[in-house]
C-alpha cells in the first residue's frame, strides 16, 4: 500500500491493516508496475493533481480516499476527480482490508487495452464503443481531461455513446435516462440505477480500461 497521508490516526490504522494482511507499506511511490492500493486524503484541494500523480506513477492502482468530515459535495468531487472509492475515516479499516484482499486475489489490478491512443488523440466527449471481455459493450469518453468507460444503459441496455452530452451528463438515446459521465450516477430516469463506470488511462500508446469490479 502506498500511503499518501500524515493523519496520525490514519497512519496507525493503515499500518495495523498492512501488518495484519502482510502487505508492504510505502511512503514514497512504489516501483512502476507494483500492484498497489493507494490511500490518500480525499478532502483537500488539488484532488485532480493528486489523482494525476497517482495514475502517472501507478495507472492500475486502486485509489482509496478518506474524509475526516464527510460532506456529500466534497465526496462527489473526490469521485469525480477519479478516486475509486471514498470512505469516512472511521470506516477506513474494513474498506482497506477489502481492497487489499482484492489485490491479493489479482482482482484489483486488471486492465484491458481498448484501442490505440492515436485513434482518439485530441478528441473529447464520446470517443468509441467497444466490447470488453467480462464487461460487455462499453462507451469510452474523455470528459474534463479524464478517460472513463460507461457500460450500457441500466434501463434497457442501450449503448450510451450515441447520446447527447451536455455539461458532463450523457442522455441515453433510447428513452432519455441521464447519467453523470465521470461517476455513472443517475441524474434522471426512467433508469432506476446508476450506470457502470470504469476508469481508463493512456499508457504505452494505448488506452486501457480498468476492469476490476
* Shortest Å, Cβ 187 to ligand FES: 12
The neighbouring-strand residues paired with 37 are 62
User: Pairing state of beta strands 62-67 and 85-88?
Assistant: parallel
Q: By C-beta, is 50 or 150 nearer to ligand FES?
A: 150
Pick the closer one to ligand FES by CB: 150 or 172. Answer: 172
SS3 label, residue 65:
strand
Pick 23 or 153: Cβ nearer ligand FES? 153
Q: What is the 3-state secondary structure (H, E, C) of 85-115?
A: EEEEHHHHHHHHHHHHHHHHCCCCCCEEEEE
Q: How far is the CB of 163 from ligand FES (least distance, A)?
A: 8
Residue pair 141/151 in contact (Cβ under 8 Å)? The answer is no
Question: Are the beta carbons of 126 and 162 closer than 8 angstroms?
Answer: yes
Give min distance, CB of 171 to ligand FES, in A: 9
Nearer to ligand FES, 66 or 179 (CB): 179
Smaller CB distance to ligand FES: residue 29 or 176? 176
Q: Decide whether 142 or 178 has the Cβ nearer to ligand FES.
A: 178
Q: Which residues contact ligand FES by CB under 6 A? A: 153, 155-158, 172, 174-177, 190-191
DSSP state of 4: E
Shortest reach from residue 137's CB to ligand FES, in Å: 12
54 phi and psi angles, rounded to 5 deg: -65, -50
CB of 183 to ligand FES, least distance (A): 17
Residues 53-78: b if buried by 16+ CB within 10 A, e if exposed: ebbebbbbbbbbbbbeebeeebbebb
Helix/strand/coil for 83: coil
Cα separation of 125 and 143, whole Å?
6
Minimum Å gap between C-beta 126 and ligand FES is 15
Amino acid at each position: 500500500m502506498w500511503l499518501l497521508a500524515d493523519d496520525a490516526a490514519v497512519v496507525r490504522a493503515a499500518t495495523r491493516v498492512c501488518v495484519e494482511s502482510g502487505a508492504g507499506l510505502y511512503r514514497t511511490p512504489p516501483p512502476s508496475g507494483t500492484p498497489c492500493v493507494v490511500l490518500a486524503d480525499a478532502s483537500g484541494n488539488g484532488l485532480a493533481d493528486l489523482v494525476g500523480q497517482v495514475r502517472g506513477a501507478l495507472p492500475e492502482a486502486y485509489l482509496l480516499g478518506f474524509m475526516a468530515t464527510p460532506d456529500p459535495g466534497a465526496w462527489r468531487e473526490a469521485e469525480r476527480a477519479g478516486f475509486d472509492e471514498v470512505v469516512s475515516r472511521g470506516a477506513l479499516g474494513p474498506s482497506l482490508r477489502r481492497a487489499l484482499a482484492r489485490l491479493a486475489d489479482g482482482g484489483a489490478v486488471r486492465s484491458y487495452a481498448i484501442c490505440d491512443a492515436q485513434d482518439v488523440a485530441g478528441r473529447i466527449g464520446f470517443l468509441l464503443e467497444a466490447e470488453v471481455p467480462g464487461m460487455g459493450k462499453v462507451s469510452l469518453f474523455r470528459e474534463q481531461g479524464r478517460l472513463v468507460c460507461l457500460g450500457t444503459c441500466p434501463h434497457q441496455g442501450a449503448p450510451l455513446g450515441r447520446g447527447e452530452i451536455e455539461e458532463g451528463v450523457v442522455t441515453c438515446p433510447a428513452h432519455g435516462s441521464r447519467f453523470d459521465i465521470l461517476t455513472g450516477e443517475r441524474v434522471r430516469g426512467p433508469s432506476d440505477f446508476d450506470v457502470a463506470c470504469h476508469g481508463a488511462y493512456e499508457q504505452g500508446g494505448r488506452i486501457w480500461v480498468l476492469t476490476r469490479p
